[in-house]
Structure 1
Amino acid sequence: MAMLRGIDTAASGMLAVQRRQEALTNNLANIETPGYKKVDTTLRAFPEVFLERINDSKQSSKGNAPGFSWIGSMQQGVYAQENISSFLQGDLVTTNNPYDVAIDDQALTLSNGQKASVLFAVENAAGETRYTRNGRFTVDETGHLVTAEGCKVLNNQGKPVQIDPSLASSEVSISPKGEIILNPDKPANRKVVDTIGLVLIQNPNKLIKEGNGLFRLDGQKLAPLTDLPASVQLHHKMIEKSNVDPSMTMTNMMENVRLYEANQKVLQAYDRSLELLNSIGRV
């Protein structure tokens, strides 16, 4: 029985490492995706098992019932509990694309000391509200400000942002507060046509990752911010890079390979032991 438990322990370790490796691989594949948030896999040990010896007439100091005595404990391996997105801000880089916008909320902290996060509010093809940090926007043929996947960017009233698609890039500017300004260099004709909608997520760990840089919140819809906190601003013609650290990710992947191989060798050792037991039984 102890041998079979050892097999389960080694196998659980291999499965946990495999799941962690998949998350790391996905992080590395999205290293050039604007606004991508890396995923960290948390590993947790299974509950510890206490072992007792049967047919012992003495009661142990652990308080066991007569007939049992405590002889120790045994770990049952680990499992990948969950994948958690890290909302540390990535580097901001200049692109000079007319509708690229980057969120800078690195200094944002709530009054209780909790680290919050600000995201763009967008609307998918099904009309559902989603949230993203990818500010690489364009204007489609209908005049909607959209993401690379075609989601409509919402304004601070929760409605899709619309801009005249015939405008030249020099005629449009986006302020640090998200105001879309026409003719920014012509005071007489300067006009604010809309404001990009942003939402404040007090606990980013509640966000559910959907793919393509989108997140959702089950059971609730956040109202857009009417005024941005002083510690938050937008940067026009810039994007936020992925927050994946390539060197650390590669190091973690190599560490995973070694852990997987170690558990594999344990399984091979148990397999050889079982073969020997079977051969003894046949003799």
Structure 2
Amino acid sequence: MVRTLWTAASGMIAQQTAVDTIANNLANVNTTGYKNETAEFKSLLYQTLQTKTTSKNGENKPIGAQVGLGVRNSSITSHYTQGTLTETGIYTNFAVSGNGFFAVKAEDGKTYYTRNGVFQFTAGTNGLVLATSEGYPVLDTSGNQITIPTTYNSSNVTVNSSGQLYYTNADGTTTALGKTIGMYQFNNPAGLLKQSDSLYAVSDASGAAINESTNTAVTKSKIYQGYLEASNVQVADEMVNLIVAQRAYEMNSKAVQAADDMMQQANNLR
């Protein structure tokens, strides 16, 4: 009976993790560039109650008897499918179409990656710096900050689908600024380590960042100025998953109750 209690309890803990994951997806339904997650499970150890044996007549029993000890969470997997591109009309908003990530330099000096293209121009030591809403500089294809002169009107900066920056002069002519927003891909983006502020860190599982500007083997991503990529969370799917997780939690709790009732009956035997 004790085995039943612990097995059902492991199921309740696992389903609680599933509900936590679904709740996080729903909480981030309006987060720019967010990628939905799913909880994955695997079975625990099995106990062998009876091995393969023979009957009294010498006939082989083809199978033994094993009982499982429950379930546990194996991973929480992110799904990097393309989100819907939403027009904002703001010249410092950028959406990515493809597998690429923006690269930013955080306060700790490390490079992180994001699909959140809510940027702004901020005052830097050498000019106006393209940065995230938290102030982290956005990096170009060479891993350097993207800076324009302070004499420039940042609203006249345009970016084409390849990430190249141009400036529109007063006479209507355009000047190439010689800077390109960096786009980076990963062999296994699901292996990226999730940070706060919609940032991802490189891990051994994700592999090193692949610079799209120097690697000809990858499909180039496109950048759209004045757009943002919405999260790929489907509310209807998440609500269905939530109901399934709740029902699974309820069934495991009933298994606990059933084990308790059986133990009570055993204790009441005279």
Which runs of no fewer than 5 residues in structure 2 stay unpaired? none
Query: Corresponding residue for 2:105?
Result: 123
Q: 2:21 aligns with which of 16, 20, 23?
A: 23
4+ runs of 1 displaced by more than 6 Å? 53-57
Aligned 8 A contact 2:122 2:131 in 1? yes
**Map of 1:164-203 to 2, 5 A cutoff?**
164=149, 167-168=152-153, 170-183=155-168, 188-203=173-188
Query: Corresponding residue for 2:260?
Result: 271
Query: Corresponding residue for 1:109?
Result: none
Shift of 1:278: 2.5
TM-score, normalised via structure 1 length? 0.83
Say if 2:202 is the partner of 1:217: yes
Query: Corresponding residue for 1:114?
Result: none
Give the aligned residue type for 2:97. D
For residues 68-117 of structure 1, what are the alpha-carbon distances to aligned partners after superposition, in whole Å with 9 as ceiling and x for unaligned? Answer: xx642223222111111110010001011111111111xxxxxxxxxxx2
Determine what percentage of the aligned residue pairs are the same residue: 29
Tell me, in whole angstroms, the C-alpha distance in 1 between the residues paired with 2:178 and 2:78.
Answer: 34
Query: Corresponding residue for 2:118?
Result: 136
Tell me, in whole angstroms, the C-alpha distance in 2 between the residues paired with 1:189 and 1:176.
Answer: 16
**How well do the aligned residues superpose, as a CA RMSD in angstroms?**
2.7
Tell me, in whole angstroms, the C-alpha distance in 2 between the residues paired with 1:61 and 1:43.
Answer: 35
Instruction: Evaluate the alpha carbon distance shift between residue 60 and residue 89 of structure 1 in structure 2; reply closer, same or farther with a 3 A threshold.
Output: farther
Tell me, in whole angstroms, the C-alpha distance in 2 between the residues paired with 1:189 and 1:48.
Answer: 69
Shift of 1:42: 0.8
Aligned 8 A contact 1:99 1:138 in 2? yes
Shift of 1:185: 8.4
Decide which moves more: 191-200 or 223-232: 223-232
Shift of 1:253: 0.8
Q: Secondary structure at the match of 2:177?
A: strand
Tell me, in whole angstroms, the C-alpha distance in 2 between the residues paired with 1:144 and 1:224.
Answer: 21
How many residue pairs match? The answer is 262
Say if 2:66 is the partner of 1:73: yes
Shift of 1:15: 0.7
Instruction: Evaluate the alpha carbon distance shift between residue 6 and residue 165 of structure 1 in structure 2; reply closer, same or farther with a 3 A threshold.
Output: farther
Query: Corresponding residue for 1:257?
Result: 246
Instruction: Evaluate the alpha carbon distance shift between residue 137 and residue 60 of structure 1 in structure 2; reply closer, same or farther with a 3 A threshold.
Output: farther
Aligned 8 A contact 2:186 2:210 in 1? no
Give the aligned residue type for 1:21. V
TM-score, normalised via structure 2 length? 0.86
Aligned 8 A contact 2:55 2:61 in 1? no
Instruction: Evaluate the alpha carbon distance shift between residue 144 and residue 19 of structure 1 in structure 2; reply closer, same or farther with a 3 A threshold.
Output: same
Query: Corresponding residue for 2:12?
Result: 14
Shift of 1:50: 3.1
Aligned 8 A contact 1:38 1:243 in 2? yes
Decide which moves more: 237-246 or 209-218: 209-218
Tell me, in whole angstroms, the C-alpha distance in 1 between the residues paired with 2:248 and 2:89.
Answer: 45
Decide which moves more: 136-145 or 82-91: 136-145
Shift of 1:166: 6.5
Instruction: Evaluate the alpha carbon distance shift between residue 60 and residue 146 of structure 1 in structure 2; reply closer, same or farther with a 3 A threshold.
Output: farther
Q: Secondary structure at the match of 2:95?
A: strand
Say if 2:135 is the partner of 1:150: yes
